[in-house]
Amino acid sequence: MEWLIQILNSVQYGLLLFLVASGLTLIFGIMGVINLAHGSFYMIGAYLAFTLSSLTGSLWLAIPLGIVVSAALGLVLEWALISRLYRRDHLYQVLLTFGLILVFEELRSIIVGDDVHSVAIPAALAASLPLTDTLSYPVYRLFISAVCLALAALMYVTIQKTRFGMMIRAAASNPEMATSLGLDIRWIHALVFAAGVALAAFAGMIAAPVSSVFPGMGSQVLIVCFVIVVIGGIGSLKGALIAALLIGFADTFGKVLFPDYASIAVYLLMAVVLLFRPLGLFGRA
């Protein structure tokens, strides 16, 4: 029975990672931009959840507000900084977004402070389901998993089945051709970046009640996100989902079976995948 619960833990953790990483792979795949500040957006989301739910008294209100705020932030950042990086080398993107991480961390420290904060689980979801005679599973965690799956489906439908999704795919595979066919690449890039930021922030918001809100939460999640994107293949949501689940399993079972090497296992996984499939599981050249 315990193994089943650990599987449940792995899936839940993996799905949440997917949600955070999805924004990264979109930005990476469609715009060709490496964004090291992605973890910071996750953190910003969590802090938004804290401040907004304290102000409005409800997490349900805080989340839509937070999405709007983070999307706006994404648009501003894209216009001011990211748009200047498209034609530059990946090295510059790495460095500029590295600088952004420092800026966001310190701004957070100045504006909100360095304390650890809690965000209350909404009352409707605060129960726990008894699974064994000792262990219960929090309903809220199941809710998070459901939301992640729903979003994954939504993203898939948007990108594969809608006109907007078609434009995005066109812009990703051949920007010049897309432009000459009349698509406004600038707007597409701005929207995709804003969507990526909003996705990461949303992940931070819904995870806040279970992860609590603290400095350093961004960097903890950042590198894992990159590993997911690279294993899955840059730009592939399907790949990101599978990779995230793989990592959820590796991390969960690693912690129980060989805790000292659990973290190494994740990177080993990435190295092995890249050696056999240099573009990731579902990456395109």
142-171 residues near other proteins, rule: CB under 8 A: none
Burial call 183-220: b when 16+ CB within 10 Å, e when fewer? bebeebbbbbbbbbbbbbbbbbbbbbbebebbbebbee
How many C-beta neighbours within 10 Å does residue 262 have? 16
Helix (H, G, I), strand (E, B) or coil at 89: coil
Reported in sequence order, the residue ranges of 144-247 that DSSP labels E, i.e. its strands, are none
Count how many residues are written for the chain. Answer: 285
Nearest distance in Å: CB 23, other proteins? 17
Residue 81 in the binding site for other proteins (CB under 8 A) = yes
Binding positions for other proteins, 195-234, rule CB under 8 A: 210-212, 214-216, 220, 223, 226-227, 230, 234
Binding positions for other proteins, 245-274, rule CB under 8 A: 251-253, 255-256, 259-264, 267-268, 270-271, 274
Nearest distance in Å: CB 230, other proteins? 4
Nearest distance in Å: CB 160, other proteins? 24
Residue 116 in the binding site for other proteins (CB under 8 A) = yes
Instruction: Please check whether residue 237 is in contact with residue 26, taking contact to mean a CB–CB distance below 8 angstroms.
Output: yes
Helix (H, G, I), strand (E, B) or coil at 128: strand
Nearest distance in Å: CB 26, other proteins? 15
Nearest distance in Å: CB 250, other proteins? 11
Q: 196 or 280: whose CB is closer to other proteins?
A: 280
Cα separations in angstroms, 104 against 52, 89, 110, 141, 223:
18, 23, 10, 28, 17
Of the candidates 209, 125, 145, the one whose C-alpha atom is nearest the C-alpha of residue 15 is 145
Residue 13 in the binding site for other proteins (CB under 8 A) = yes
Stretch that binds other proteins, among 68-76, 85-93, 146-154, 158-166 (CB under 8 A): 85-93
d(CA 149, CA 226): 20
Q: 197 or 230: whose CB is closer to other proteins?
A: 230
Nearest distance in Å: CB 267, other proteins? 4
Q: 43 or 67: whose CB is closer to other proteins?
A: 43
* Residue from 75, 125, 138, 170 in contact with other proteins (CB under 8 A): 138
Cα separations in angstroms, 231 against 13, 57, 181, 190, 266:
17, 40, 33, 26, 10
Q: 30 or 67: whose CB is closer to other proteins?
A: 30
- The H-or-E segment that residue 8 falls in is helix 2-31
Binding positions for other proteins, 118-137, rule CB under 8 A: 118, 128, 130, 132, 134-137
Nearest distance in Å: CB 52, other proteins? 17
Binding positions for other proteins, 28-57, rule CB under 8 A: 28, 32, 34, 36
> Percentage helix, strand, coil, to 5, in the chain?
80, 5, 20
Considering CB under 8 A, how many residues would be counted as binding other proteins?
Answer: 82
